[in-house]
Structure 1
Amino acid sequence: MTNTYRRLRTEMEPFLKGMNRKLKSSRYLSPNQIETFGLEVQSELNVYKEDEQLHGFFVIIDFIYEQAQQDGKWSSLERRLNPFFDTVTHYVYTASFSKSKKLKARFAKMLGTYVVQSMRDNDAPYARLFSAYMKTFSADQIDKLDHYFIGQDMHNASRSFCIAISYFYLYIGKESQAMVLLKQASPVLASEAEAHIALLTQRERYEQVLRWFDTFFPNKSDKLGTLQEYYDQSTSLHDSSSIQYETWDRWLKAPSFKRFKTLMSHYSTKQKELVLDYLLPHLEERLFNEANKLVYIQILLEKEDFERIQRYFLLNEANPLELHEQKQLLLQRLAEARPELSLPVYHQFIIRLAEKRSRKYYVEAAEYVDKLAFIYRRLNEPHRYNQFKQILLKRYQSYRAFIEELKRRESNINMDS
């Protein structure tokens, strides 16, 4: 609990107590009443600075929830308070948090923190609010939350936490972790798994949908309710020769391109796409191994996933001087097929080589400058090459040997031809 939080809790106490009385004063609150209360909260927070509004929001949610629990009345108030929490969050997020990149990032971080801190409390509203707003978070915020959750012990987490965070994992593509966490909430109701199943269906992960049904609803004679449509759709669209993911899990322990080709030869085009969607993220986690890198780039070369090829070079090849023949071939293919995507790779390689401060590396860097000139010529953008070249000469003007090597080659590069 921060000093700001404590101060705001004290300053806002009259408002908090008044709002708490209003929420408890009637057996039923109409949607209009709840909206009115939401606007009152927004008005109360508007007198504070942006960052204080964020803390104040959590002060209000905390106070109202804690009072209901302390009075032993949560079960009777839940159907009133959860819509109130939803409305307050909607008004404050829409009017304030979503309009400030900094505040939006802070909201994501703080909400994630509250979710973890209350993970053993099944009634706490934070997991449900997290599920409602996580799709509005940026990729960077999602990535940070993922790293934050990795360090948490979730073994004794509540059902509401497991359901919410398993959906988060599914949303970011961590299907195995999503299933493991949802198992902790078993038995799962159809309504609790509907968002998960809907997301898998939306992504055309029909094989996975059927696996989830086998795991969480093994007795198909039971009424599946709203899930029945998803089950029927996945069954009808799933290819008759199902993908054996266990086989690919074993393959991942010792990747081999030859075996990859053999296994893939039996699949339809759709199945091949499903396998690659499953394999590549797992293989990317294993790129610390050179043998795995070579298998990965052979797959990329065959698949011609040029965005992934660019990302591979930018993130995984620190020393351009030691590029394996297959990697050189991959980079060449990228430059030929998608020259615009290859530019950041060549820029990065040139900088990395120049920074080595050795003639051997200067020569290689100059070679990449020559290749870069050719790519810019193909793109008919000589001015961009000239801009980069001038920046390079200025940045490394004290690297005499490198500058000499670049100037020695200038006569061979005619950007006007």
Structure 2
Amino acid sequence: MSLTTWILTAGFAGLAVLGMPFAFAIGLCVIAVVLSVGIEPMLFPQTVVAGTQSFALLAIPFFMLAGELMSAGGLSQRLVRVAEVFVRHLPGGMDLAVVLAALVFAAVSGSAPATTAAIGAIMIPAMVARGYDKAYATALVVSAGVLAPLIPPSIAFVIWGVIAEQSISRLFLSGVLPGLLMALGMAVIAVTRALRSPMPREKRASLREIATALREGVWALLAPVVVLGGIYGGAFTPTEAAVVACVYALFIGLVVERRLTLAQLPGIIAKAMAISAIVMAIVAVSSGFSFLIAQEQLAGKLAAWLATHFHEKWTMLLALNIGFFLLAAVMDEVAIMVILGPMLIGIANQFGVDPIHFGAMIVTNVAIGMAAPPIGYCLFVGMAVSGLKLWPVARAILPFVAMMLVVLGLVTYLPAFALLLVP
């Protein structure tokens, strides 16, 4: 291997193992290559700037902010209340409420960490108070939170759409059925667990309680209708939808619900900016990494190697899924998409994989990686909310991860799961 290849692979792996943040590890590797092989030094700052110059990427900070505004403005509590009154009397009623609330919240925020934090802050203490094991409650919230990369509008699909130069709206639609299938799998696990070790069931909600919950939660329920209806009705682009979501959440929180105050806004904006900065830093520095990978023709070499060792498309897809899942378990998912994206797209094209189907497969894998031990991002968000250590939550989440892998298999080998709703 060339010196560039060694630095980009072994060098990056070494820095990651030592615990260096991924953005810094990627950036240092790119700088090391630039200095060691005589590339023009201005390459790095130019590619960093170029990596962020996409209109579609503006959706990331705005969807992050929309999620924070919804949480602070009380809309997430309203969503949980609506979900509870419809399913609380069923076996695993609180579990089902978590999944339903996460589905609706994800359809506005587009962010798995925001969904996990918003739903977890409400439901983990409530479930523990009613006798649920805290590790299981945390695992369920984390699993429900990672539906956000699949349910439109999804930040993961925005990033992949920019990388793959595909229609973000079509990618959004490719994630709907996989996301709903995962939600159904979580519901099956929850109900099965409830039947085996019965938890006290809540009393069925009266019509008056349902009407009250719907009346109080109407603005929260309308949020995804406004955002998704605007996108697919042609009123605005996904990026503009992120701004609309922010304005809507801000208006409801300040004027209608009046649970937001102007004094809270600087802190809310700062929190959203901090999370967005992490994502955008990785996207920016990974552009230089991707440029060097392309210059070394690593994509072509890997594609040739796969073509030599995997003669059938199904075996190639299996190998990619296994490799991607293993990387996602120990590496930031955004970094994987941005660094390996061009390489993966080239391989998929060589084997004749539909680009929208391939995007759905990649983002499904990303969603699983956010929940998978040992460093799934949402896993750590759930741990922060519940105060638990890694091992109890990791052990409790394994059935959910196994179910998600089954869904990944269906998405991979039955393209209709991804393409049925795509025009």
Structure showing greater Rg: 1
TM-score normalised by the chain length of structure 2:
0.19
Higher relative contact order (CA 8 A, sep 6+): 2
